[in-house]
Structure 1
């Protein structure tokens, strides 16, 4: 097969004459920006002024010659990996395609339409707004679409996002802007072949154990005529052959193969992410006519749901080993998807690995991610919970819509099914619990707006997609992967036991009492389900990031720009309300940015600790969210620029293989240890009570034994026994699990609300030295308690630890890692190192003087 990429493009509005340079893959918004016709969409309130773009039709044009090698082939296909969304395609002014689904792959035989010399390919993108408004009018009633920001788009309450098979977040979300894009968002190319073409190779994993992997290699073949020959499969230095016959047109050939003692694929924390390259060849008289390769990992992966005394389990089992899922929800890395480079994907996946994660959830309001995303997850041992692209809305159920969804699902399940990282296909995000069909007063209040007849129709349409169509596609095309209808869900029971709108003993849970319902952080300890697939808390990016979308004069909580970059109604006020509850008051807005990150980190730390302590009852914790699609105040652990917030460092500590937690009341202090290791842990638990000046006031030591993968309470003392007659406002309780001199887990704890702690301005000393292998290390010491020490540099990178409490007499040594061009983190010296702590960000009234 010979390919020719189509990269020479121009574009214009359909009602204009001038053609301008365009970049493909890309979209109208980014092409307008590159040509200087619109301002930076992400700066200030520019989003509000750019809503005209989605009301217009746009054209893209490419002129090309067919290369001589390609021209000689008997079949030539035009392939679009992605067209966004309603597109009429003309080749040499002959109509060849009418596309209507952003998520589909489009392939058209164009051999007859191509001509010698210059060919012209023209694509007219019809406005998704103008295309879908008539559908809403024809339906006669609105469909729920909670996050469609139609008012911002000048449509009043006319929410049309549900009619387009297009990334839902393009219409706005409570963390993202409204940019309803059009364009050629993935690669466009010609591909030619003669006689035979292998269009797909699937390595179905029928039974995989440590002793043998029994597989079926399934190849889809296009043939110009009936053909007989040999199918050869090679992998891992082995080779298998068998005779095959194909008929003219599309055929499927398969071969059962077995690999003995396979190198299994493991997720991070359990072993190596071993991968195999499989190649299929069609041979005739030992001559290879055509070949195709795929890479996969061999593993046995399933979702285990078994009845137990607490309800029904919900956990992933990999190669016979239960996996405690630790990770986050992933959204698209940009509002303009083609702007996401390989380096940005590498940075995100590298950050997940650095943060001790083993799973990411590709959330259903974004896109089916680029191949590189899944390839990196395969390589780094990250499991993927994969949603289909439906979220927080009810959808049409007409035949044309269902047919489009089926084709979309088939394209994407086939595209992704060889990736060993794919752990689950989930039908949608939050729709089952939002509609709550079987409980009248539950859900998001949608049902009250409809008659009984319309309710039943909407639910029947829902079931047609999520209980019939999508599970059928997964079962047919990727039979080894579990399908889960909606997240969250208890079980597909067809009655009131189905919906997961409160914490129960089965299914997965989205807990948003903290944040949306303004419940206290402590409620994280009370609301623990079998698998926590969403929960979160907001913060702002750091000042350097904020200044990239706002001028100095806009640095105020309720400024127009700050509100434009806060998509959750009361978001900024909610952060302030919680900050008033838990932390000292920041001295100004710039300090508020820092304190918001501290607040977010402490909230999610409490949640993760509660979830992991509850192991094996709870076997997964995926916070909301990993990343941002534009610069914004949001729930993300790293901002749009990829800079780690305090949360990302807290997550790294909380997801460590061995974790120690401390909980206290007025009467008692409890110590828990949690291990995700596959072997037993023997360690000494060292508990110390120190004053703010570092003086050792009390100490206890005991031995701790943890079985493989165990969570257990390892100690308990009365508060009075630990505290004595000391003032709780001036002491720090530390706990550490030590094996010899090696600390394998540690935790600081305060015996009073943190906003009541007595803070003094610390003098922090930093000593720079060469550590092992010539790596620069930085040792920090303080003369008094320094809370939430923040290290920053002029370079883009991360520290091995950051936003930590520094205690006198307990030096902390860290490394700096530079963010490399390849997305990984490389040890380096930190330029212009700046060290600050909470005392630098609170008002004078919150500080005490050192004695």
Structure 2
């Protein structure tokens, strides 16, 4: 046989072998997997333990929502109903269901009952035999039920003990109370007995300065029976060393138990096998290493594509498929850079993604409801899409709520939203006994393992505001907490703090993550420096505006390296307020409006700031509208001030994105998902490249803040006009290429040379930045406070164009229109813009659509602008 035919024969044999091997692998993949899961979410009933009436229940669910669904209580969010349901948390509740198990399933070596979450104190029974207890809302729970299970019908009962009664026992055991300033024990009819800190349960359930006190219980996440033989995957850790050229990955698959036999693990990326590894006998985990050349990196929003790869891990014993683990991963590096300043008086604090500094733009995020299981997937989609639409790239999951559901992090991964993840401790001090520490440790391990592989996780933070509130070693700082205790108690309380936040939590993060960053408290200066308004390291919470009654101008005075909290309140719009009130409540000082304002002095604080900046309307609906403008203008100015200080300041996260019930609060989206004025203003000010215009008695300045490089020359146009549209000053200039993460002054002039003889209450400055004829940003700058503007009464024209179910609204006016608000009296409407100014003879287009895919009708629109709320200085 000649050499040619020999080679052809060999090639044919190899080809047939490859087909055979591939076919064998497909057979293995298509066979039935060893592990089985039975969902237990149907046919639940519940009752109060002391009573006999069983009622229909929902799982996942809560006691409060089940009582509502059965007509036993009214909606606690409506008017003053919250006060009528405080009895619920002081009694025990029982839930039960039944499920069937076939004889063949009983032959499995392992049969576990798994709870993704029980809130909080549960006693679990299978067929009336106790199988275990729970005492931490944030943990997952597994119980071996093989000894208790039988063929046919089985019963599952969960007795939920009162978190208040349990808390009172722990308080008595501790001997003295601990600081818990947001625990509304008086509303809960407990007097001064604050028990929230003794229970590993969402702190905001006990009340907060934006939330009610509704201490619910329930089986709040999924329940399953898991059956398997031999072994299964417990968890997977992805360790990566990634750059533009390659990603070196180490995948560690932890097994449920040591394996007597060797097991094989197959790793796939986007469906392609990248590694097969066989373990030694008695292994508890299996590691695999492989490289992805020229990886597609994961980037934060507006800086690149947040690309995700599909990772699959298959576990085999011989040819038997035991388990499959699937998740999406992003290839990226995230670092927190703390570089000493040249003068040695501070350190930088910023996030570096894939070697690129990132200015963090975003907000703090709280749970979307007190009754967590009723938060729908569509709500999560709306929240994260709204974050992206507002040109944000980071959310801070705040420590008084929950470690969020998987869908939250999945969506952040998809949209490129970085996550600052607090552990669930906030604004309190906590005990440090052995049982408490062990519970916290397991809680931390559960959640770190669940969340660590998400591309969006940027930082783990120990707690919210506890270090700042206690201020160890500084009698002149803090919230006055430590002064309430004896020297011995002080020492014990701070020692317990250090056990959790200086030892336990950082150890968990170190052991169970891919070298992710741990930050002990927010805010802190780090290295023992307590955060305050003058510190030059770490992160800052600035509450001089609002709590300290500082003027808005102080947002430019007090700026840290990373602004992780600051805020200003507003009410929901009138459409939302009408859902939880009746006409007799339409007064900000009414009992109902005061109850739906948990900041105490909040409503009057809004009015005080409004008096400083706006004419205060006497009409209730107008007051709500102007209050939203007040909030939006204040936070807009804060974000501008922070971006103006790049790269000294590299983060601006306002308090807060969302609400957990209908309330006056610091949120930019109300409980019903409506965008407040602030959300629209944030969308504008958070653009990648933004104009910042300021003036004082002597000078007018125009700066450009940019998160990205603009390599080509741009054009800047500055135009002064009056409210009728007459141009009084007009200048254009070329702008040299713009560098990322910098703010540069591009124009300045004496204020007198700009305004000249014009009346400052009748003019505005319109500044426009263009790049290759594309408008990058436009800024409208006024020279007096809103209440001092001599605004005209404009003639507005509206045209409406139907685009399928959407409606395009075109607005024009003969004179300036200030803050035009389009109210859409349909549920779940979305607008491309709102609360905007309309220049004289300008046409503005707004597209209105429905998240419910309903047709938007022009008959459901109402229009309001600032001039309509003013009684003075309106021409």
TM superposition score category, shorter chain reference? over 0.9
* Structure 2 partner of 1:376: 411
Which of 248, 252, 255 is the aligned partner of 1:214?
Answer: 248
CA distance in 2, matches of 1:547, 1:595: 17
CA distance in 2, matches of 1:83, 1:246: 36
* Structure 2 partner of 1:559: 590
* 2:313 is equivalent to residue 280 of structure 1: yes
| CA drift at 1:194 | 1.1
* Structure 2 partner of 1:299: 332
Is residue 413–residue 456 contact of structure 2 (8 Å, CA) maintained in 1? yes
Is residue 628–residue 676 contact of structure 2 (8 Å, CA) maintained in 1? yes
Give the secondary structure class of the aligned counterpart of 1:780. Answer: strand
Counterpart mapping for 1:130-279 below 5 A: 130-205=165-240, 207-222=241-256, 226-236=260-270, 237-247=272-282, 251-279=284-312
| CA drift at 1:765 | 1.1
* Structure 2 partner of 1:38: 73
Higher alpha-carbon Rg: 2
Residue 752 and residue 347 in structure 1: after superposition, are their counterparts in 2 closer, same or farther (change >3 A)? Answer: same
CA distance in 2, matches of 1:284, 1:409: 31
* 2:87 is equivalent to residue 52 of structure 1: yes
Deviation sequence 1:649-697 (CA, Å, 0-9, x none): 0000010111001111122111111111244353211111111111111
| CA drift at 1:732 | 1.2
Is residue 526–residue 538 contact of structure 2 (8 Å, CA) maintained in 1? yes
Q: TM-score, with normalisation over the residues of structure 2?
A: 0.93
* Structure 2 partner of 1:815: 847
Deviation sequence 1:169-218 (CA, Å, 0-9, x none): 0000000000001110111110111122112122222x111111111111
Is residue 805–residue 856 contact of structure 2 (8 Å, CA) maintained in 1? no
Counterpart mapping for 1:59-138 below 5 A: 59-67=94-102, 70-138=105-173
Which of 734, 738, 742 is the aligned partner of 2:774?
Answer: 742
CA distance in 2, matches of 1:157, 1:422: 38
Is residue 123–residue 134 contact of structure 2 (8 Å, CA) maintained in 1? yes
Deviation sequence 1:13-46 (CA, Å, 0-9, x none): 1110011000000110000000000001100000
Which of 710, 713, 719 is the aligned partner of 1:682?
Answer: 713
CA distance in 2, matches of 1:541, 1:762: 27
* Structure 2 partner of 1:21: 56
Counterpart mapping for 1:349-498 below 5 A: 349-493=384-528, 498=529
CA distance in 2, matches of 1:402, 1:553: 50
Residue 462 and residue 223 in structure 1: after superposition, are their counterparts in 2 closer, same or farther (change >3 A)? Answer: closer
* 2:819 is equivalent to residue 792 of structure 1: no
Give the secondary structure class of the aligned counterpart of 2:684. Answer: helix
| CA drift at 1:286 | 4.9
Is residue 818–residue 827 contact of structure 1 (8 Å, CA) maintained in 2? yes
Q: TM-score, with normalisation over the residues of structure 1?
A: 0.96
| CA drift at 1:474 | 0.2
Deviation sequence 1:312-352 (CA, Å, 0-9, x none): 01000100111110000000000111110100000000100
* Structure 1 partner of 2:372: 337
CA distance in 2, matches of 1:738, 1:502: 37
| CA drift at 1:61 | 0.8
Give the secondary structure class of the aligned counterpart of 1:96. Answer: strand
Give the secondary structure class of the aligned counterpart of 1:327. Answer: strand
CA distance in 2, matches of 1:589, 1:223: 64
CA distance in 2, matches of 1:508, 1:437: 18
| CA drift at 1:110 | 0.7
Deviation sequence 1:786-824 (CA, Å, 0-9, x none): 111111223332221111111102322222232247xxx
Is residue 195–residue 224 contact of structure 1 (8 Å, CA) maintained in 2? no
Query: Larger deviation: 447-456 or 637-646?
Result: 447-456
CA distance in 2, matches of 1:846, 1:793: 29
Q: Report runs of 4+ in structure 1 exceeding 4 Å deviation.
A: 284-287, 773-776, 826-831
* 2:866 is equivalent to residue 845 of structure 1: no
Unaligned runs of 5+ in 1: none
CA distance in 2, matches of 1:830, 1:303: 49
| CA drift at 1:512 | 0.3
* Structure 2 partner of 1:802: 834
CA distance in 2, matches of 1:188, 1:484: 33
CA distance in 1, matches of 2:60, 2:680: 34
CA distance in 2, matches of 1:460, 1:224: 37
Which of 317, 332, 343 is the aligned partner of 2:352?
Answer: 317
CA distance in 1, matches of 2:139, 2:281: 27
Give the secondary structure class of the aligned counterpart of 1:196. Answer: coil
| CA drift at 1:761 | 2.2
| CA drift at 1:832 | 3.0
Query: Larger deviation: 111-120 or 151-160?
Result: 111-120
Counterpart mapping for 1:763-782 below 5 A: 763-769=795-801, 777-782=808-813
| CA drift at 1:74 | 2.5
The root-mean-square deviation of aligned C-alpha atoms, in Å, is 1.7
CA distance in 2, matches of 1:453, 1:235: 57
Unaligned runs of 5+ in 2: 1-34
Is residue 503–residue 509 contact of structure 1 (8 Å, CA) maintained in 2? no
Give the secondary structure class of the aligned counterpart of 1:267. Answer: coil
* Structure 1 partner of 2:660: 629
Is residue 198–residue 222 contact of structure 1 (8 Å, CA) maintained in 2? yes
Give the secondary structure class of the aligned counterpart of 1:513. Answer: coil
Residue 124 and residue 427 in structure 1: after superposition, are their counterparts in 2 closer, same or farther (change >3 A)? Answer: same
Residue 652 and residue 830 in structure 1: after superposition, are their counterparts in 2 closer, same or farther (change >3 A)? Answer: farther
CA distance in 1, matches of 2:857, 2:739: 40
- The count of aligned residue pairs is 835
CA distance in 2, matches of 1:286, 1:4: 25
* 2:870 is equivalent to residue 835 of structure 1: no
Counterpart mapping for 1:499-648 below 5 A: 499-648=530-679
* Structure 2 partner of 1:10: 45
CA distance in 1, matches of 2:331, 2:647: 26
